[in-house]
Structure 1
């Protein structure tokens, strides 16, 4: 197989394996059921609508226990420092959001050693500042998560179906990838065959043109 064919096949594999829009942001909802004694990820994503505009964000988490009316401030992330704001959560909260930049879009946190007292409403707040050319724009985004703590995980039917569909999709994509590679190989092989045929034809024409027109002519 020629170097050009190998390079083309590698390029095909690259475009198949690399997802389009890899650096995009998708606002996925948080899970809402935690298991007592384990860790739980409180998800919170707020995608910036104007990617070309630089910005920064401070993320606050508040908690309202079940059966109460007031929120308490439990956590804050202001680049680059995460800070636990309530003694009940000291040593139990871990920042899992955007790191390395002030332009925060993922504000997730881990709750370790979940207890039944963690049941309630969690409020995630983004205080975002957009640095426009002539001025600054301040935006506040709130997202709530209703958390229930259970003794044992209960897999939902939708979650099971989603997992099955994920594996089916993986198999389909692998088969599609193999089909594309076969198509690429056949196309390149056909092009190489056509190229070799054209080269042979050109060589034959040059050989005919180079023959002496007087060959085989005898004078008496």
Structure 2
């Protein structure tokens, strides 16, 4: 059985991606949630289970094989269960989906930095910085292209829920948490992601957590 180690569901965006990938695989798994940055964090991350990733989550153990980094977890699981469960069948769509997933993995630094994930909160909207506006413009450009070219009759970026949606899911939560300006065309996609049963399960678990990390609780623009 797979063993997936993740951080707090309220805050850990990369854990969400890895967890969604495991749920999408359909494989049985054991889930271990560890509170990030608590008193035992430094000691815990030095343990044998965390050593390969230097303490970063998510980390997936598949027997003796260890895989860390959310995009690597997606690829590992796709190899295990069939790539069609994660990626579009059409080559052009698959190429675009892979590119978008990789761009999400490596880009959008301002959006990540200034609007960390906090699924439990809803803040009054504050005008985003120019850097975040640029990230949002690129984000919505990608979504529009994917939906127009390959969305078809489905609700997600490439029709069916897949790896690209997994990578963008934490961004969807940020748009809602911070009330970030979202064009009308993107709202049905945003709703589809939030209503997906996997994300609903994650949100319910996040709401039930009693861990609070203060640095992730400050409203945008609040004094440090």
TM range (shorter): under 0.3
TM-score by length of 1: 0.24
Larger RCO of the pair (alpha carbons < 8 Å, separation 6+): 2
Higher helix share: 2
Rg (Cα) greater in structure: 1
